Amino acid sequence: MPVTLKDVAQRAGVSRSAVSRTFTDGASVSPKMRRKVEKAASELGYSPNALASSLTTGRTKLIGLVSNNFHNPVFLEIFDLFTQGLQELGLRPLLVNLTDETEPDGSVQMLKQYSVDGVVLASSTLPPAFAQAYREAGLPVVHSFGRYSSAPTVHIVGIDNVECGRMAARELLARRYRRVGYLGGPADSTSSQDRLAGFQEEIEKNGGIGFSHSFAGAYSFDAGRAEMQRLLKADPAEAYFCGDDVLSIGALSAAEDAGLDVPGELGLIGLNDMEMARWENINLTTIRQPIRQIIRSSLELMVALLEDSERYPEARLFSCSVVQRGTLRPLP
């Protein structure tokens, strides 16, 4: 039979309420009482029942971890870091897959059904309306990798995607590419729009540079490969800024299949610096997004929101940097 709270109380010689307070965060209990209860619990092999505790405290310690881009390998890294971080804080992730979802209503219902204490929306492609819907449903929400706003209505942690576009353009211009292109993810995603805006703005500051842009159907290897195959049959640019690393790797595959030398005949630069970008057979020049810092800051904000749900929304931006590898020709 499982060991119960009553068993621990009898072994420790205290009341059941004393045992309950010992295992309830923030509850008042003397150091002497805590030692007695913890000793008895250890001897009996007792573990507090999380579900029973939630009925007492009104807190489930569940955090909805919501995203929509599960086919992108970078999100495996992101989910790994998020779930580890939540568990270290004594919280539990509830994973919600919004792939192919266009409205937030279904996920709002699910999150409320499971009585989550808060929501982390981990996506750069879902529109801000999703985070806003969670907030309007009374759920503390942090939008990680979200679109920057100078007047945010929810907490946002991410990067300046417009500036990342400018950074990519400067890298290509420094290497004297004269015809450049942008290969983005879905055209309607805010990250695709912002990265294109910054890239085009910087290119157009320099006269005489040929510029083109196109969009893949998804941030995925297959979509990047298919779009690059289409571009190579037309009039390709000398170098491309791809909206993220997995698109870049798909584009690299298409270029190699076409017999093109990278970077001799085609240059590529990505964004994220996911683990695969460092693999020897890929060796992708890319813009590093500080994923660990973004996740750490998102979790800090979530803990603060759980303590004060009326905390004023803020936007936190992290700087990116170029990682030089082997898919752009050397600087002159």
pLDDT at 26: 64
Cis peptide before 330 (omega within 30 of 0): no
pLDDT of 42-51, one tens digit each?
888 877 665 5
CA distance 31 to 184: 58
Residues 302 and 142: beta-carbon distance below 8 Å: yes
Burial state string for 236-271 with b = 16 or more CB within 10 A and e = fewer than 16: bbbbbbbbbbbbbbbbbbbbeeeebebbeebbbbbb
pLDDT at 100: 74
pTM: 0.82
Q: Which residue in this structure is represented by tokens 């499982």?
A: 2
Give me the chain's average pLDDT, please.
Answer: 90
List beta partners, residue 92: 62
24 or 85, greater pLDDT: 85
Asked if pLDDT for residue 12 goes beyond 60, the answer is yes
* Chain center to CA of 104: 18
